Amino acid sequence: AKGNGKGGWQRYQNDLHTAMMQRLEMRTALHEAIEEEQFVLQFQPIVELVDQKISGVEALVRWQHPAKGLLGPYHFVEAAEESGAIVGIGTWVLREALRQFSQWKNENPDTTLRYVSVNVSARQFRTADFADRVREALAETGARPEWLLLEITESLVLKDADKVIADLKALRALGVRVAIDDFGTGYSSLSYLRQMPVDVLKLDKSFIDDILHSRQQHALVDAIVTLSHNLDLAVVAEGIEEAGQRAALDAMGCQYGQGYHFARPLWPGDIPGLAAEYQEHP
Ligand code: C2E
Ligand code: CA
Ligand code: CA
Ligand code: CA
C-alpha cells in the first residue's frame, strides 16, 4: 500500500512492478502449460445417496507444473480466468473429459456410470462459439450428448439473463444437460431458477456442513430439495463428509451426493467398478 514519504512511494512502485511481472509470468506459464499439455484431470464420483452406486463423475483440473509439482485449481484458475487462458484450458478439459468418459463407457458396458460433469467458467461460457466447441468435442470423442453435464455458476446466470437463457437452450438442444454449481453461495433464488433452462442443482458444501447441528440449516436444505424437485431439478449435495449427512439428505429425498465421505477426486485408473487398464499416474 501507499506509504508516507519517498521511501513508501518507491516501495509502492516496486510492489506494483513485482505484481505486474508476476501476472505476466503467470500468463506466459499458463499458455505454455496449454501447449505442452501440462494439465491433467482427476474425477470425483457422484453417487446415489440411497445405495452409494456411482452415477456420475466430476472432472477436476490439476496443473502438473514442471517445477512446483501438482497444483490444484486454487493456484491458477482465478489467474487463468483473468488472463483469458481459462478458455483454452476449458476447451482441453471438455475434450479430455469426454475422451476419457467415452473410453470408460466402451470398456464397461454394464457400468452404472451415466455422465461426466465438466466445469465451465463464466468467461468460457460467454465466448461466441462455446456451443460449437461443445458440438466439436462430442463429435471428436464419439461421446453421446447425454453423457455430458455442464456445470455453470449461479453468478453467470444472474448477469445478462436473457442471453444466458438463449445460450442454455441452444446447448440443451444438442442433448447435453446443465447444472447450476455452488448453489446457495450467490444471490439467486429458486423462483429465479425456475426461468432457467437447467436440469441439475448442486447444493454448495457450505449448505451441507451444518445440517446435523443446526435445525434451521436442516430445514432450509429440506425446503430447497422439495422445491427443486417440484421444479423438475435433480439435486446433488456437495461436500458430504460424514455418514450422518448422507443419511439426513437421503431422508429428505435428496437423490445424489458428492464428497470425501464417498470418494476424493481420483486418478482415472482408480474409479471404483471400472476396468483399470490405465497408465500409472505421477
Ligand atoms: P467445485 O466445482 O465446487 O468442485 C468441488 C471442489 O470441492 C473440488 O475441489 C473437490 O475436490 C472439493 N470437494 C469435494 N468433496 C469435498 C468434501 O467432502 N470436502 C471438501 N472440503 N472438499 C470437497 P478442487 O478440485 O480443488 O476444485 C476447486 C474448484 O476449482 C472447483 O470447485 C471449481 O470451481 C474449480 N475447477 C476445478 N476444475 C475446473 C475446470 O476444469 N474448469 C474450471 N473453470 N474450474 C474448475
Ligand atoms: Ca463444480
Ligand atoms: Ca461446486
Ligand atoms: Ca465449490
The three three-digit cell numbers of residue 203, written as one number: 447444493
| Range list of β-strands (E), 78-163 | 115-119, 148-153
What is the chain's alpha carbon radius of gyration, rounded to the nearest angstrom? 21
- Is the torsion defined by CA of 265, 204, 94, 46 positive or negative? positive
Task: For residues 101 and 81, give the distance between their C-alpha atoms in angstroms, rounded to a whole number.
Answer: 26
Task: For residues 37 and 60, give the distance between their C-alpha atoms in angstroms, rounded to a whole number.
Answer: 15
Which secondary-structure segment (H or E) carries 224? helix 215-230
pLDDT at position 117: 98
pLDDT at position 155: 83
Q: How far does the centroid of ligand 4 lie from the alpha carbon of residue 205, in Å?
A: 7
Task: For residues 10 and 103, give the distance between their C-alpha atoms in angstroms, rounded to a whole number.
Answer: 57
Q: Any residues with Cβ below 6 Å from ligand 1, and which?
A: 44, 60-61, 72-74, 77, 86, 90, 93, 119, 121, 181-182, 239-241, 258-260, 265
Distant-in-sequence, close-in-space partners of 267: CB < 8 Å, separation ≥ 6: 42, 278, 281
Pocket test for ligand 1, best of 63, 71, 77 (most atoms within 8 A of CB): 77
pLDDT in tens, the chain (282 residues): 445 566 888 888 888 878 877 888 888 999 999 999 999 999 999 999 999 999 999 999 999 999 999 999 999 999 999 999 999 999 999 999 999 999 999 999 899 999 999 999 999 999 999 999 999 999 999 999 999 999 999 888 888 889 999 999 999 999 999 999 999 887 667 777 888 899 999 999 999 999 999 999 999 999 999 999 999 999 999 999 999 999 999 999 999 999 999 999 999 999 988 875 555 555
Ligand nearest the Cα atom of residue 152: 2
Q: Whose CA is nearest to atom 27 of ligand 1?
A: 73
Q: How far does the centroid of ligand 1 lie from the alpha carbon of residue 229, in Å?
A: 25
Other CB atoms within 10 A of residue 282 CB:
7
Rounded to two decimals, the ipTM of the complex is: 0.98
Ligand nearest the Cα atom of residue 246: 1
3-state helix, strand, coil in the chain (%, to 5): 50, 20, 30
pLDDT at position 63: 96
Burial track 62-79 (b if 16+ CB lie within 10 A, e otherwise):
bbbeeeeeebeeeebbeb
